[in-house]
């Protein structure tokens, strides 16, 4: 698929979850964010939620890791040709297509 050994294949994002919410509420919050910001734009996302144990009196640190391929998929399940690339702006509120 990618011929350049330095090709970037996916974006990664990490964000913190709320300590005040239960794990079930944090999972629902993360799913809603993924659905609204990525899936609704036709992007594919893999996400993992971590809630490391408190260490020596510290505070818990629940957080989410997202992995989002750069290339969109066609309706037939194949990736779009290399000349087309989707880029998410840092705010995740706009989607720009370059061709």
Top-confidence residue, 49 or 6: 49
Q: Which domains does the chain have, with CATH numbers?
A: 10-98 (3.30.930.30)
- pLDDT for the residue numbered 64: 93
7 burial (CB, 10 Å; 0-12 / 13-18 / 19+) is exposed
d(CA 51, CA 58): 13
Residue 89 has pLDDT above 70, yes or no: no
What CA–CA distances, in Å, run from 6 to 2, 3, 9, 92?
Answer: 9, 9, 9, 24
Question: How much is the pTM?
Answer: 0.65
- Whether 29 and 17 have beta carbons less than 8 Å apart is answered as yes
- pLDDT for the residue numbered 99: 36
Top-confidence residue, 43 or 34: 34
């Amino acid at each position: 698929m990618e011929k350049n050994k330095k090709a970037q294949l996916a974006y990664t994002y990490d964000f913190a979850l709320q300590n005040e919410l239960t794990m079930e509420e944090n999972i629902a919050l993360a799913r809603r964010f993924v659905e609204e910001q990525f899936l609704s734009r036709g992007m594919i996302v893999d996400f993992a939620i971590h809630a490391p144990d408190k260490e020596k009196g510290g505070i818990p640190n629940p957080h989410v890791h997202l992995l989002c391929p750069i290339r969109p998929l066609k309706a037939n399940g194949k990736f779009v040709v290399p000349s087309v690339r989707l880029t998410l702006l840092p705010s995740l509120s706009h989607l720009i297509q370059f061709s």
